[in-house]
Structure 1
């Protein structure tokens, strides 16, 4: 499995942070029903592992995948694998974390915020990269990075509002991740975004 399999043909990824397990699964179900099939559950603190475990189990029943986010230590890689995550996501680039995730059978999506990051990630074999924090970098950053790295696939993440999704996609992002924007239940019907 690779991010070509996970993210190919997808334009929106959801990040469900800090919710209790039952609520995480309930919101995930709403998103899956709306056509948003790629989810990340951040596990920056141990109390978030149960939400990942519950959501990964619910995803498996539907034949879907869930990833673990905010993975910045090897211990978190192990916890993600133990909870049923099928990929890991990090805010930055750490090749040790990348290697640990690969060794656990999970593709890793590293965060990048500079040309140096993109180049190091690319040379390490990563073709999908998390542009973070996307709102601080801006859509123009993604367009600029696609010049020297035309085959890089950027997942724009960090502070993006639903109304900004199209702007980031037009700038060259392959996928836009929405987190805090999904805290409002009125924002969760994202079907129209799949067609843009």
Structure 2
């Protein structure tokens, strides 16, 4: 399944950013076990490339395992070498360009109409509205007036209630970090992570 289709089907991208490599890896695997198959491991977290590499070996070639906070061409290259088959950026730039050059799907960060136009022209598969908390669902609805057919994925500061409102406002999916992950990627409670995963899956169903 292509990434765009997977986004529309699953409607949830989990964002893992941890201070502990082993805990981050366990978090990724727990999310997959709980039916959250679209996962982004932020390069700003500890040992992110190691986490991606270990998870890729466990999950196989078909799983959607992304690298987040891809800023530079080198970031994109190293993440792809580690096993990431999806690139997520907070904005436009060399990270987007190199990912597209490699033929990898990109979820590119945008906030303004100008950035939306540029990201779409650059070849982004979907547009990460970041930070989503800035304008909220009302801003997404306003953006969709001139861009009704583009796939927006709000991320940044979304809890389950705001995620539901974004989805009802036309988002194809939402990206959720701390409200879903909690302290799991720092060595915290995986049982609580499972409970939150079930909550967000229900919201995104």
- Please report the TM-score for the alignment, with normalisation by the length of structure 2: 0.85
Q: How many angstroms apart in 1 are the aligned matches of 2:181 and 2:5? A: 27
Residue 193 to residue 150, structure 1, CA distance change in 2 (3 Å): same
Would the aligned equivalents of 1:12 and 1:193 in 2 still touch at CA under 8 Å?
no
> 1:33 deviation in Å?
2.3
CA distance in structure 2 between the partners assigned to 1:150 and 1:56 by the alignment:
35
Aligned length: 193
Work out the CA distance in 2 between the residues paired with 1:124 and 1:148. 18
Aligned to 1:193: 203
Q: Does 1:108 align with 2:110?
A: no
Q: Which runs of 5+ in 2 are unaligned?
A: 183-191
Alignment match, 2:95 = 97
Q: Quote the Cα distance in structure 1 between the aligned partners of 2:125 and 2:146.
A: 13
Instruction: State the structure with bigger RCO (CA 8 A, min sep 6), 1 or 2.
Output: 2
> 1:68 matched to which residue of 2?
67
Show structure 1 runs of 5+ residues with no match: none
Give the Cα separation in 2 of the matches to 1:158 and 1:73. Answer: 21
SS in 2 for 1:92: coil
Rounded to whole Å, the distance in 1 between the matches of 2:57 and 2:127 is 26
Give the TM-score taking structure 1 as reference length: 0.89
Return the alpha-carbon distance in structure 2 between the equivalents of residues 192 and 136 of structure 1. 25
Note the C-alpha offset of 1:125.
3.2
Q: CA deviation at 1:128?
A: 1.0
- 1:11 maps to 11
Q: Measured at CA, do residues 104 and 126 of structure 1 come closer, stay the same or move farther in structure 2, by a change above 3 Å?
A: closer
Taking a change above 3 Å as real, the CA distance of residues 127 and 86 of structure 1, as seen in their structure-2 partners, is closer
The aligned residue for residue 150 of structure 1 is 148
> CA RMSD, aligned part only?
2.0
